[in-house]
Amino acid sequence: MNKKLTSGFLWGGATAANQCEGAWQEGGKGIGLIDIVPYGPDRMPVAKGKKVMLDIDDKHQYPSHEAIDFFHHFKEDIAMFAEMGFKCYRMSLSWTRIFPNGDEDLPNEQGLAFYDQVFDECLKYEIEPLVTVCHFDLPVHLIKKFGAWKNRSMIDYYIKFCKTIFKRYKNKVKYWITFNEINMLNHLPFTSCGLVLENNEDEKHAKYLCAHHELIASAKAVKLAHEIMPDCMVGCMLAGGSFYPYTCAPADVWQAKQTERGNYFFIDVQSRGEYPNYALKWLEKDGIELDWQANDKEILKEGTVDFIGFSYYCSRCDTADSEITLNRMAANAFRTVRNPYLKASEWGWQIDPLGLRITLNDLYDRYQKPLFIVENGLGAKDTITKDGSIEDDYRISYMKEHIKSMIDAVVEDGVPLMGYTMWSPIDLVSASTGEMSKRYGVIYVDKDDSGKGTLIRKRKKSFYWYKKVIETNGEVL
């Protein structure tokens, strides 16, 4: 059997503007969502949509303000990606670099020029950019003025942003993603889409409204991208990871299926162009009315995605037994039962390489569209040895097992996979905790949780390992 990945397989890494760029007030940039998400114990409540403070407050430390200062280090960082042989670099654009408040008539030229330089640097090394239009990011001004995605007018601002960047970068970027982990709206509503609940507002209703507007915006963006860039490919992006029933009791199987549907709902719409029946029934049952407009159905149909991008860190487990505790920390903000068969990372995320093969197969069975693993990696604490090296064998082992499983899905199960961009090739600020010490990189960045450090970059042991993996197209792991 052919045990090889195709030669055009897009190996690489993924980052997000809000977690790596820093320079939060340079180049005409406005205040973005992540600039007000605090570090420390207030982060998770805020991330979940509670206790939201929409102004900068000196009591909090905002790690994203400097982050790893990719804004000033991008040439050095991309050169290191190139040294590893990257074929693809997934990154996102900071909305507020381009439209500082979101509702200006004209974009900020300095912001556009910055990304021109970043793309040029990638293309110089023949690294294909894969660009997420919106990765946990939006202008704070739009939250204050309209209540963010609860308001339908967000669609127009988002599309204006899309039109600007599609036209500007049409000769440099072929691969696009409309929203990062769109289903995270259910789990981290503030971080994901700026959802702030007003007094007595029904949370479910508010979330569905945001979802509907994001789905219409996504579909419009796909259509627009195809008009402006006929050869481009546009994907959706799911926080992936299959749901297992905790036992084979039919009630557990049903519960796991229902929870999984809640996860798939978004990409069911983005890839099939219509609301699935189960979601329509849920809305009916909860008495939720969405602001459907005359041509919404047509828009969804015309804007289906070309590929399914997804992140995979862990699998999940669900039960119908209310006596069993569900633990949100065990699975990237998702509520899950601890799976007794799996080990977990230092942050409790359950490690399940075979689960990646299962998820790849589930997704392909469900959608029959090309897939793209756009995030996968291990958050861990690294130590620097006396001789200055970083021996991160745990990270190598995590990635090795997941890549093996990915190759099995491709060569043995026939799943069409466009590429694999690990999260993240370089240490950056953690989205859920705001820590620097939760490191994912194969490149170390000297910066600690209190924001101190030289920002010097260093190759970890995993850097050389991943370089070899790419060089041999996954044959040497």
Per CB under 6 A, the segment of 58-66, 215-223, 269-277, 427-435 that binds ligand BGP is 427-435
By CB under 6 A, tell whether 423 contacts ligand BGP. yes
3-class SS of residue 14: strand
Q: Say how many residues touch ligand BGP, by CB under 6 A.
A: 15
By CB under 6 A, tell whether 382 contacts ligand BGP. no
How far apart, in whole angstroms, are the C-alpha atoms of residue 28 and residue 34? 17
In this complex, which beta carbon is closest to ligand BGP, that of residue 127 or of residue 184? 184
Position among 363, 378, 431, 442 found at the interface with ligand BGP (CB under 6 A): 431
Q: Which two tokens stand for residue 476?
A: 């040497």
Type of residue numbered 10 = L
What contacts 155, CB < 8 A, 6 or more positions away? 213, 216, 217, 220
Position among 180, 186, 271, 336 found at the interface with ligand BGP (CB under 6 A): 180
Minimum distance, C-beta of residue 33 to ligand BGP, in the bound complex (Å): 12
What contacts 142, CB < 8 A, 6 or more positions away? 101, 102, 103, 148, 154, 157, 194
By CB under 6 A, tell whether 438 contacts ligand BGP. yes
Minimum distance, C-beta of residue 257 to ligand BGP, in the bound complex (Å): 23
What contacts 100, CB < 8 A, 6 or more positions away? 28, 29, 30, 108, 111, 139, 141
Per CB under 6 A, the segment of 106-114, 283-291, 430-438, 445-453 that binds ligand BGP is 430-438
By CB under 6 A, tell whether 94 contacts ligand BGP. no
By CB under 6 A, tell whether 430 contacts ligand BGP. yes
Listed in order, strand segments (DSSP E) in 93-232 are: 128-134, 175-179
In this complex, which beta carbon is closest to ligand BGP, that of residue 438 or of residue 447? 438
By CB under 6 A, tell whether 140 contacts ligand BGP. no
Q: What is the footprint of ligand BGP within residues 303-332 (CB under 6 A)?
A: 311, 332
Minimum distance, C-beta of residue 215 to ligand BGP, in the bound complex (Å): 18
* Residues designated as active site: 375
Minimum distance, C-beta of residue 20 to ligand BGP, in the bound complex (Å): 10
Binding mask 236-265 for ligand BGP (x = CB under 6 A): ---x--------------------------
Minimum distance, C-beta of residue 358 to ligand BGP, in the bound complex (Å): 19
Distances (CA, A) of 201 to 141, 193, 195, 207: 21, 17, 11, 11
In this complex, which beta carbon is closest to ligand BGP, that of residue 97 or of residue 187? 187
CB 175 within 8 A of CB 128: yes
Buried/exposed 341-360: b ≥16 CB within 10 Å, e otherwise: ebebbebebbbbbebbbbbb
In this complex, which beta carbon is closest to ligand BGP, that of residue 242 or of residue 319? 242
By CB under 6 A, tell whether 181 contacts ligand BGP. yes
Per CB under 6 A, the segment of 26-34, 252-260, 411-419, 423-431 that binds ligand BGP is 423-431
By CB under 6 A, tell whether 395 contacts ligand BGP. no
By CB under 6 A, tell whether 220 contacts ligand BGP. no
Select from 363, 388, 392, 365 the least CA-distant residue to 378.
392
> Could you please report the per-residue DSSP string of 148-175?
GGGSTHHHHHHHHHHHHHHHHHTTT--E
CB 176 within 8 A of CB 121: no
Specify the DSSP class assigned to residue 248: S
Position among 9, 11, 13, 16 found at the interface with ligand BGP (CB under 6 A): 16
Helix, strand, coil percentages in the chain from 3-state DSSP, rounded to 5 = 40, 15, 45
CB 182 within 8 A of CB 265: no
Write out the residues near ligand BGP by the rule CB under 6 A: 16, 19, 180-181, 239, 311, 332, 375, 379, 423, 430-433, 438
